[in-house]
Structures are given as C-alpha cells and as structure tokens.
Structure 1
C-alpha cells in the first residue's frame, strides 16, 4: 500500500507521458482520512472513466449503529450516503462559471470525458430507493465506488491536474459527504426509517387483502411526461374515498392513512386528463420504495405487480397464449406460441402469460397502451365477424376466470369502454386527480345494459377456450443465451437495451425497469444464466434462483472482477424474465421450433 506522498510523486512523474502510463496508478493508497483504491485505469482519454473506491473504517466514519444492523437498514443507509456523495461531487468539483448541464436519469456526472466541468463521476440516483453497488456498508468499513476521468492534453497525461483531482478535490468531497461533523445523521435515520415503514406496508398488503395503497396527501402528477420529479405548483393532493379508507400502524410508531385497493378486479375510469393513467403509473412505480418528498412515497404496490401492455414487434418464444388466442388460421399451436414479430394482441397475451409465470399476484393494465382487439370486442364486430373466424377471446371475458383460477388480481384503466363494469369488483372514478368510489353506480349501469355472460371455459359466443391451468414449464436451453457472435460479456446500453453478441434486447416497453443500474445487473445476470444454469431447469425457476442468489450474495457477486463492481442496481425477477423472454436468440429445450409470421 502506498500513501498520499507516493501518489503525489507518481502523478508528478507521469506528467507529459503517454496516456497509457496512468496504469501505474493501480493500487491502494493511505490518504490519511481514508484509503483510495485505483482498480482500473482508462486506456485513453476517450474510453470509459477510471474506476476508484474510497474506503473508511466503521469506527472512523461513526455511522449510527442502530440503523445499519439489518440488510434493509444497510440498503437504505447506503442509498442516503450515495446521494450525499453525489451531491458533494456536484457541489465541490463543478466550476462556478459553467453550471452543470442536466443529464438523463442514469447518466454519469456532467458532459464528456475531456473539457468537462468535473473529473469525478458519481451515479445519479432516481426517486426510487434500490439496493445499489454505489456504496457498500459492512461490519468493518464503508466503501464508496465512483469514477474519475483522468485529465489529458491530447493523449498526454496532465499529471498536475490529476494530482489536484485525486489529492485535493476527492478528499474535500469525502469530508463534505461522510465526515461525522458534516453529516446530518438525523436525516440518515429518517431516510432509513421511512424505507422500513414503506417495506412494512408492502409486506402487509397481502395479509390485509389489498394489492396496493395510496396515502392521503400523495402528489401523483409529475413535472413532465419524461420526469420522475413531483409536480410542485398546482398539484392536487390525493384524498381517499371513505369506502376504501384504510390505515397502517408503522414500525416508526406513526400511522399512515389512505386508499386501499382490494384484491380482485379494479377498474379506474374518468375523463381525459383527470388522473386515471397517472394513478396507474404511480401504482406501477409503487413496487419500489421512494424518497421522502417524492409525492409518491406512500404509493405502495405489491412487490411482484407487473405492468402489462401491447408491444408490437417483440419476439415470443414458446409461450402458451391459448387462454386468450387459439385457432389461428395459419394452424400455429398457440400453446407453444413462437414468433419473431408479435402483433399488439399476441404480444399483450404473451406479456400477460409471462407475468403469470413470473409469479405476479397483480397485473396493471392501461387501455391506452393496450391492443383494442385483445381487450374488448363489441356486438357489432361480433355480428360482422363470426366467432369461428375470430381467434382472440378478449380480456374482458377472461379477466374473471383468470382471477378465479390463478388468484391474480387486475387493476385496469378504462377511459373509452364500460365493458369491464360487468366483471369489476370495484370501480374508481378519478375527477381532477381525486378518486371516488362509483362501484354501485357502475354495477347498476352494467345491470341495465349487460355486456354479455362470462364463463370459465366458454366465451360469449359459445366457443370453447383454453382454461387457466398449470402449464408445462418452459425449460431453458441455457447455451442459447451465449450465441456464437458473442465474444465479450453482455453490455447494458442505458436503461432500455442490453447487447448480447451482435443482438440487442429491447427493454423499452418494460416500464418497471427504472434505473440503468438495474439493466447493467440484468446484463450480468444473463451471462450467469447462460453459463451456470443446469439442464432441465425451467426458465422461471432459473430466474428466481438467480435473483435469490443476488439477494443472498449481494450485487458485488455479479462482478467479473474484484474491487470496483461497476454501477449496479437490484432488479426484480420479473424484469430478469422479461429480458430473457425478449432475447431473439432464446431457445427452449422442450419447445417447438415452429414460428408464427404474426
């Protein structure tokens, strides 16, 4: 191990040398107040930044012991410290005459690697509190992972500038973010306690017969369609209809009240721009805890809930969509449906069946992002197109059997049809972002103007449809996840794409994938699935065990090398399965090779 003087001497000696000589920095240095580990140096000024770690002993950092004892406490405490460190980097290393440019969620620092306002780069967290690899808290140390764009003039090392970054700016950031005298430990304790309170509500939903909860006073609207931040001006706080009012006693001793959405079939209606889709989006994001002040921190949904939508053009491999679609004119067996180019209806059917296989207890569906012919079929169309010519049994006729046979609840936004009134257990209308229970009124309307009779295994036209039953597991052919074109580990490209060899997995429609770090973790998990999954293991089981391993061993276990693991965030098994299912090279050991030209 070197020390501060050794680091200074090396950097001065490197001044003016070729950029590759930065490789001499690798190693660990005692900086006095902390240890610095240089794990990886970039090969040239335009390569990804160098990876470094800051390590402090627990007795030195003096974190409150009572909020770092359990795994959930450490997840929340690490999230808080990572946010402080990011704020300190932005405040300490950004020049005053050039304010930082805004960056998309999941981006590093500000600007490019050269000529930018800061050399130190930290991961910008979103509104969700996730387990991340950014900060590690153990029994004996606290470790912060970050990156640094080592300064250069052309392809020559600027040693004096690098010395300023690593021996002056970095210690200032560490002191500002982590020094006990500069920390606000009351804020740390509050952050951890809120996280624990949110977990308590999430874990209590099933016992209370609920699929979701929306706290009174929540601010659901966002500042813009592409923003996670709450609307600040003109936002209408959420108020609960009396009939759906519930309360939770929290571990902190506080009580939170709000609207409980019961198990069953819930239909959300309302006029345009009155907040129904906003409510559903909040419920979709409610599978993750949120930071205080987000406005949605008390919107809490069962952790396994999955948002379902149509996804034209996605690939589908060996999925049994026969409960919704059967008797295709091409003769393709929809019990093992496979296509490289799914339509809106077949993609939505596949998304739903895959969610059931991933163990979801609740599906969230918005009419606006659904295939109309998958959702409903009116009387006029039934008269024009005879039943034997229509392979799709619409969701309105299958949602109730799905609940009865699988126990899976549905929360659905409907703005243009009242067809679901017949099957709804509760109907909520949104009026200017305020909910009202109109279940009895909707039932009366359904009674006066019936849509049709539902049956478990026969649709309204008397045609047999496949029941919801236990299906043959899809056995993963793991080598298919490791194609011949692949010469390097999988690589995440932002939040919505994973590169596997020469192929890309498009995850843009997987809306509950909220952080680029989750996508990076998925990329590495796919690598492990390809190389460690035994023969004759169901895809769903393999994904479940991979997530359990991630939770048991930590995100660092996904790293291919020691030291800096990169920026990773914990995904759910639902998103891991979504990534596998969207890989066009996926093959099943027990699947048919027949593909539909959908």
Structure 2
C-alpha cells in the first residue's frame, strides 16, 4: 500500500499538470494511522467533487457499540462530529479545495456516510474538491488537504460524553418503541417533550415552547432497561385531535409522523415514539394512480370509469386520498395519520343536509367517517385524525384529544356526552388485493433528486411533495436507487408489491444501504428509506404498469 512518501512524490510530479492528472491518486494510501481511499476523481475542478473515504481507529468503548442500536447511534455521532469539524479550506478555484460530508437533520437512522468496521475501526465517506488553479493541479495544496486537513479533522473525533448520551438516547427510544405493542399503544409522547419547531424551515426546538404534559387519563409509564418513562400513550383505534386554530393540533401530528425515527439528544422529540409502520396520507390533486382498488370509498364513477381497479393520470382530491390510503395498507402501514387541512372534504364527511339533497344512489363517494371503524375492525389499522371543523368524527373516536394553548387535554368523555351517533357502515370492507408491478415502465435512467419533493427517474419526474415523511434530497435520491434495485433484481411480473418490498427490506437488512450505491464504490450520500416511501414513489411513477 503506498504511503506518505509515495503520495508526496506523486503530488510533486503532477503539480501544474492538467487537472485529469489527479486520477493518478486513485486507490488506497497509508497516511500514518489512517487509510485514505480515493474512489473517484472528478474530471474537472468545476465538476461534482471527488469521492474519498478515510479509515481510522475510532477508540469507542466496545460496550457502547455492542448492539445494532448502539452502533447506529455511534455512526451517526461520528458523522455529525466530522461534519462539525470539517471546514472547507479553499485551496483552489471552482469547486476545488473544499471538503464536505452529508449533513444530517436531527434524526438518527442508517446512512452510508459513516460506518463502523470490524477491529475497532471506522470509515467516513465524503467529497473533496481536489485543488486546482484554473484547470491545473495544485499539488502543494493537495498535500495540505490530504495530509493535514483530513487527519486533523479525524483527530478531533475523540469519543466523549456526548457520544454516550446519544447512544443512551437512541437505545431508550428503541426500547420505548418496542414497548408500544406490549401496552396496546400506537404512539407515546413523554412528559417534558418539546414538540414545536423553531420554524417551517428550522427543525430545532422552539425556544419558547410549552413542554408537553400528558392528560391524566392517557398517562402511562413504560418500563425499559434504561429506566421508566412517563407520558401520554395513544391506544389502538381511532384518535381524534381537536382544538382551536394555532393551538398545536398539527404540531402533535407532525411529531407523531416523525415518531418512527430516533432523534438526537436536545431535539425535544427524543422520547416521542410511534410504531415503525406509521404513515401520513393526504389528498394530492393531479397525481397518477395506477391500478389501485378504491371501491371501498368510491363506486363506479360517471362515464363508467371503474374504481376496482382505478387508473388516472390526473386524480382528484378524493380519488388521490383514497388511493393513498389503500396504498399505505398495501405497503404494510399499521397507523394512518391524517390532517383535515390536507384532506379532501368530500372524502372525509358528508353531512345530513347534503345527504338529504343528494341521495346516496347519486353520490359515488363513501366518506371515510362511515368506514373508519371498519379500518380498525376489518383491516387492523389505527387512525389518528386532526379535526378542526368536522364534528361527525367525535361519534367514531376511541380517544378525543384536545389541544388548548399547546396543552393536551382528554375530552373523550365530553365528546361522548354530546351523543353524536356513529354512522352506520355502508357494507362489508373487503381487503383489496395487492398489485403486481411489471418491469416494463420501471427501467431506470439517470437518477437525481432536485430536493425531497422531486425525483428524476430516467425520463420521468416523480412528484413527492405529498410524501411528507421523506426527510431530505439524499433520502429521496436513495428512494430512486431503491426503485432501480426493484427493477434490476426483484420485480418479475409475478411477485406482488408487498412481497417485493419484503425482498427489498431483506436485502437491505443483510447488506446495508450501500447495496443501493450506483457505483462500484460505496456512495456516501445514501439515507435508508422505509418501504412506505419507496412504495409511495413507485406508485407516483407515471410510467408504472401493474396487473
């Protein structure tokens, strides 16, 4: 393995030469206690940066990384610490001279940018703009980047009390989440949690927020190996969250929508957990729907258009929300989250006056309020709804939670005292048959995520704005790579979508998210998505074909 002396000799030789001479750097280099791996060299200083890896002894207490939960938290800690100490040192023009690594949000989950290896070593995967002046190599500046900047950044990754705190927080969250089923719960919000965020674009906790306190009727204590935690437990069934505008209803729902993820200490939501298969659904005018059986909510439409299955390149609010609900069931959701503000009113409810004016045989829509109890009893789902103006749902709720000045109150007894009847079920609710995706139409081309709302997949653009549980552009890009893997190795025209998602999960569990790397080296920008977000993207692919 070439060492520092060989590296110095190489950099002297290519100094001042045209930029492609940097390709001589490809390979693995021994730099004292570090190993530097150069996987890819950019062809031009103004092109996307080069791909590098550094391996080193991490010095982490083995007890902190003795299980999968601890290892994941420690990898996340290394990534955050490296990003915090890694400064871009401008040692050239264009994109050259800069070092960068994926910058995570407050969530702890599997990412490819930082990995623990065997033998007490770790690997960080990052980008480097190899220094240039114009389009000529700056060898001296390259020496400083590779032998000073990177080793100095690694040297500052000494484990400290913040690592132990993060591992403890992650293990506690996993333990709380595992307790939910045992207690018949779908979610848990610990007393003292801070749910509001600083702003719509700032995920830090709101400094002036009111800490959460559980209503006495919903307070539970969960015993874990890391101590007992007390807070609000939401039981299986139908939970309706009510309250005046701007009093915190949607804030609670947003926290539950992130409850399947672990959070770093200090986030405020690090003891807010939900079942792993919690999915938020909403209406989405104009989306594509491919072969989804929505007949439980919409009968045959005018013009003889079938809803079993339903196809549309321009779905309405009601048909898109019905499709999203059935698609979530298909991908394995156990809990559905819905906010009245982003739902189709005509799918949610049909009041007595409208029923009197428009007879049932003239209305193809069966509103959710008439089906929601069946979702629980027949399909085994639980549903959490934020409701501001539709009182009909009080008659079908198991729990009514009222938010008043961001304080939670149990109003179940008061709601039942109103005597609002539950609407009669409109008939049986058969479970729709899952779709079978076909390979035709799933062929990948170039995959690029403009942001977390738009994914370029070959010639198609997948709109992901309504897939609200996607985290960032890196996770959206990883979803695109998962679609590619489905096409290449899983979808065969016989396997239905749930089975295909099972196969995808099994492969990622066995080989890690690096399996989705589009190159022969492990990409550093992969963020593992859930099966639900992969399925949501697939369902929105306008070239998708199913049977």
Q: TM (normalized to structure 2)?
A: 0.96
Q: Secondary structure at the match of 1:363?
A: strand
Question: Does the alignment pair 1:340 with 2:313?
Answer: yes
Aligned to 1:287: 260
1-structure distance, mates of 2:92, 2:476: 23
Which residue of the partner structure matches residue 149 of structure 2?
A: 169
Counterpart of 2:63? Answer: 66
The whole-number CA distance in structure 2 between the counterparts of 1:70 and 1:516 is: 29
Deviation for aligned residue 1:452: 5.9
Mapped to 1, the partners of 2:275 and 2:2 lie a distance apart of 49
Distance verdict in 2 for CA 1:94–1:21, change over 3 Å: closer
| Greater share of residues in strand | 2
Instruction: Pick the aligned partner of 2:99 from 100, 120, 123.
Output: 120
Match of 1:107 in 2: none
Where in structure 2 are there 5+ consecutive unaligned residues?
none
Query: Secondary structure of 1:364's partner?
Result: strand
Unaligned runs of 5+ in 1: 96-111, 458-466, 591-598
Is this contact kept in 1: 2:376–2:382, CA < 8 A?
Answer: yes
What secondary structure, in the 3-state scheme, does the structure 2 residue paired with 1:278 have?
helix
In the alignment, does 2:484 pair up with 1:549? no
> Which shifted more, 1-10 or 203-212?
1-10
Going from structure 1 to structure 2, the CA distance change for 1:260 and 1:512 (only over 3 Å counts) comes to same
8 Å CA contact retained: 1:315, 1:340: yes
Q: 2:132 aligns with which of 152, 157, 171?
A: 152
TM-score after normalising by structure 1: 0.88
Deviation of 1:67 after TM superposition, in Å, equals 1.8
**What is the deviation of 1:340?**
0.6
Contact kept, 8 Å, 2:45 with 2:95, in 1: the verdict is: no
What residue in structure 1 maps to residue 110 of structure 2? 131
The 2-side partners of 1:86 and 1:503 are apart by 33
Q: Identify the range of structure 1 (279-288 vs 373-382) with the bigger mean alpha-carbon deviation.
A: 373-382
Distance 2:97 2:159 in 1: 23
Deviates more, 1:258-267 or 1:131-140: 131-140
Native 8 Å contact 1:319 1:350 kept in 2: yes
Instruction: State the alpha-carbon separation in 2 of the partners of residues 287 and 225 from structure 1.
Output: 20
More moved, 520-529 vs 432-441: 520-529
In the alignment, structure 1 residue 479 sits paired with structure 2 residue 440: yes
1:415-451 deviations in Å (ceiling 9; x for gaps): 1121101101110100111100010111112x1xx46
Distance 1:345 1:36, change over 3 A: same
Indicate whether 1:504 and 2:461 are aligned. Answer: yes
After superposition, the CA RMSD in angstroms is 1.8
CA distance in 2, matches of 1:379, 1:151: 71
Call closer, same or farther: CA 1:283–1:491 in 2, change over 3 Å. Answer: same
Which range is displaced more, 508-517 or 263-272?
508-517
Deviations 1:261-303 (A, max 9, x none): 0111000000111100000000001110111110111111111
Matched ranges for 1:171-570 at <5 A: 171-177=151-157, 182-184=158-160, 186-232=161-207, 234-252=208-226, 254-445=227-418, 447=419, 450=420, 453-457=423-427, 467-482=428-443, 488-533=445-490, 534-570=492-528
Paired residues of 2:196 and 2:206 also in contact (CA < 8 A)? yes
Say if 2:45 and 2:94, in contact at 8 Å, map to a contact too: no
**SS state at 2:202 partner:** coil
Give the drift of 1:198.
Answer: 0.5
Q: Are 1:286 and 1:299, in contact at CA under 8 Å, matched by a contact in 2?
A: yes
Deviation readout 1:185-209 (Å, 9 max, x if unpaired): x322221121111011111111211
Note the 1:34-45 alignment, pairs <5 A: 34-45=34-45
Instruction: Please report how far the alpha carbon of residue 116 of structure 1 lies from its aligned counterpart in structure 2 after TM superposition.
Output: 7.0
Query: Aligned with 2:199: secondary structure?
Result: coil
Q: Following the alignment from structure 1 to structure 2, what is the Cα–Cα distance between the partners of residues 43 and 326?
A: 57
Aligned pair count reads 545
Cα displacement (A) at 1:515: 3.1
